[in-house]
Structure 1
Amino acid sequence: MDESGFSGRLTSSKKVIVPKGTRHAYQTQVTMSGHVTVVQAISAGGESCPPMIIFSGCLPRGTYEAGVPDKFIFRSTDSGFINNALFLEWFEEAFIPSLGKERPVLLLLDNHVSHWNPQFIDKAKHHGVDLLYFPSHASHLLQPLDVVYFHILKQKFADLAIKIGYMGCKTLPRNLFPRLLHQAYNNITGSTIASSFSDPGIYPFNNKAVVALNSQKQSKPLSADKENPTIETCETCGHSKENYLVKLGLVSKELSEILVEPPPPPKKKGRKNTRSHEMAEAVYSKPVETEVPTEPEQDMEEAQPTAVLCEVCMTDYDIFWVGCDSCDRWYHHECLSPAARRAVDKSLSDKSVWLCHICSEE
C-alpha cells in the first residue's frame, strides 16, 4: 500500500500525429484546484482494493459519489494529506474487507509517520496481517506502487482530464475527480498490477531485478590503514572529486550517485583568493606594520587580522574575491551583477582600474 497526491497541472506524454513541418505540438492545459491524496493497495495477484480519496479543505460540492463504486471512501483534511486516524480508518474499512479468509497476509508499506500508529500495529496483529516496512529512501526502487502502478494511473488519469479540457474545461472540477479516477482504474489490467511486483523483483523473487542494489563486488571491510584515507578534492569548490564512501568500501559504485557524502563545511580561515591586481597584492602580500604594545594580551589581539566580508552576502567564504581600487570594499565574484563581472574580467585582461558601484557613482 501507498498514497500518492494529485495536484497542479495535469500533463500527458501521449504521442500525437501532426502535419509534417510542425515544430511545436500544443495540447490543452488542465489544472486541478487544491490537493487530493489517493490511498491505494494492490496485490501480486493483480487485484486492487477500494481506495480512500482525501480532499483538501472540504469534500466537493455536488454529486461527487455518482458513477463510482459504493466501496470508495471519501474524506477531507485541511491539507489534503493522510494522517494516523485516516490511515487506520482505511485499513479497517477498505483493506480488511477486501481480504479473503486465508491468513497470514503480508502487507508491504513504507516508513511514513502515519504508518507507525501503535493502534494500527495492534489491529494488524488482530487480523493476522504481517507488516514489512521498506528501508528508508528506497521506495522509488522497491515499492510496487511507486515503481509502476502510480505512474500508469496518473498517465491514464491525465489523458482523460485532457480530453475534458478539449471540451472547454480548463480547471478540473473536484466533483469529477472520483469518476475520472474510477475510469483510470478500469483501464489498468491485472497483468499491469502484477508487473508492479515483478519489476522490483518482489514476486516472483529476483534479487538481481534492481540494478542499483546489485553490487558486482562485495564491499571490502574498512581496514586500519583506511581510517583516514586521502581524498582528492577540487581546487575551486573544495568538494571531493570522488565519493569517499565508495573509497571506504561502505557504498558500492552503483550507489555512488545516490548515497553521496555531505557537502564540506565553509572555510572560515586561511588566505583568501584575490584577483591579480596591484591592490589585492598590496593587501595580502605586504606585511602589517603594528607597534609592539607593552602588554602581551594586547599584542595577541592586535596581531589577529580583521575579517573581510563580502558587501553583498556579508560572508567570508573562501571563494574568488574582487576588490575595489578606490575603497576598501570587497566582493565575491559570484555576488556581482553580470555587468560588474564583465567589467572585472576586462580589468583583469587589460590591467585597468575597477571601481565598485558606490565609487563609480561618486
Structure 2
Amino acid sequence: MWSTWTEGGPPGTRYNRSKSGWFDTSTFEDWFFSLVLPTLRRQEGKKLLIGDNLSSHINMEVLKACKSHNIEFVALPPNNTHLTQPLDVVYFRPLKLHWHQILDKWKETLEGQRLPTIPKNTFPTLLNKLWENITDNHLKAGFTKTGIFPTDEAPVL
C-alpha cells in the first residue's frame, strides 16, 4: 500500500489490495469488519446487507457476525444483477461517464501528457473529484428502480 494514497483522496477512504487485483474473501472480510460492522453497530434495530452473489460475499465469519449483530444478509439471485443490483442499474453508468471526463482532463495536463498511466500518488486526488460529484440521490434511485425500496416487483418482472 502506498502511504500517499491517504492524501488527497475522499475523506474516510480505506484502501486494500489482493495478489490478483480482484476483490476476494480477504478484502471482503476487511471491508466488512473495518467499515460496515462498526457503522451498523451504532444503528438501532434490524439492518440489511445486500450482496450480489459474488463467491467472496458468502463468508462464514461475516455471516456469523451479521447474525450476532441483528444484520440480515441477503444475496441477490445470480446472473441478474443488471435487473436487481442497484449499483449496476443506476449508479455505475454515470460514475463511469464522469470518471472518463476526469481522466480526459487529467490527460490534458502536463503530467497527463507526459505519462502513459496515472501515478499511484495522483490517483486518490482524481478519485476524490469523482466522489465529490456522486450524491445520495444516485444511490437512492438505484433502490427505487430495482424495486428494492420501496418494494415493487414490477421493475424485475
Q: TM-score range by the shorter chain?
A: 0.7 to 0.9
Q: Distance in 1 between matches of 2:90 and 2:130?
A: 14
Q: Does 1:130 align with 2:76?
A: no
Summarize the alignment of residues 238-277 of structure 1 with structure 2, pairs less than 5 Å apart: none
**Cα displacement string for residues 124-180 of structure 1 (whole angstroms, at most 9, x for unaligned residues):** 112211011111101111000111112222221221111010114142222222222
Q: Partners of 1:139 and 1:196 in 2: how far apart?
A: 12
Unaligned runs of 5+ in 1: 1-58, 215-362
| Conserved 8 A contact 1:104-1:129 | yes
* Secondary structure class of the residue paired with 2:6: coil
Map of 1:118 onto structure 2:
60
Mark the structure with the bigger radius of gyration.
Answer: 1
Partner of 2:44: 102
Q: Which digits, 9 at most, give the CA deviation of each residue in 1:72-125, with x for residues without a partner?
A: 112222221122122111111111233342121011112111111111111111
Matched with 1:209 is: 155
Per-residue deviation, 1:198 = 0.8
Contact 2:82 2:89 in 1 (8 A): yes
> Letter of the aligned partner of 1:165 in structure 2?
K
Give 1:69 shift. 4.5
Aligned residue for 1:71, secondary structure, equals: coil
Partner of 1:190: 136
Q: Secondary structure at the match of 1:76?
A: coil
Paired AA for residue 124 in structure 1: C
Per-residue CA deviations over 1:204-256 (Å, capped at 9, x if unaligned) read 1222123xxx2xxxxxxxxxxxxxxxxxxxxxxxxxxxxxxxxxxxxxxxxxx
Q: 1:72 corresponds to which residue?
A: 13
Q: What is the deviation of 1:182?
A: 2.1
Change (3 A) 1:199 1:140: same
Q: Secondary structure at the match of 1:174?
A: coil
**Aligned with 2:154: secondary structure?**
coil
Q: Which has the higher strand share?
A: 1
Find the counterpart in structure 2 of residue 89 from structure 1: 30
Q: After the TM superposition, which residues 1-362 of structure 1 pair with which residues of structure 2 at under 5 Å, given as runs?
A: 59-60=1-2, 63-69=4-10, 71-99=12-40, 100-168=42-110, 169=112, 170-210=116-156, 214=157
1: CA distance, partners of 2:125 / 2:142: 24
Q: Distance in 1 between matches of 2:55 and 2:155?
A: 28
Q: CA RMSD in A?
A: 1.7
Specify the SS of the correspondent of 1:171.
Answer: coil
Distance in 1 (alpha carbons) for counterparts of 2:138 and 2:80: 21
Question: Post-superposition shift, 1:202?
Answer: 1.2
Structure 1 moving runs of 4+ over 4 Å: none
Query: How far did 1:70 drift?
Result: 5.3
- Using structure 2 for the length normalisation, give the TM-score: 0.87
Which secondary structure does the structure 1 equivalent of 2:17 belong to? strand
Native 8 Å contact 1:71 1:94 kept in 2: no
Q: Which residue of 2 aligns with 1:18?
A: none
Counterpart CA distance in 2 for 1:73 and 1:90 is 8
Q: Quick one: distance in 1 between partners of 2:5 and 2:135?
A: 25
Question: Going by fraction, where is helix more abundant, 1 or 2?
Answer: 2
Identity of aligned residues (%): 32
**Correspondence for 1:250:** none
| Inter-partner Cα distance in structure 2 for 1:88 and 1:195 | 27
Contact 2:17 2:27 in 1 (8 A): no
Unmatched segments (≥5 aa) in structure 2: none
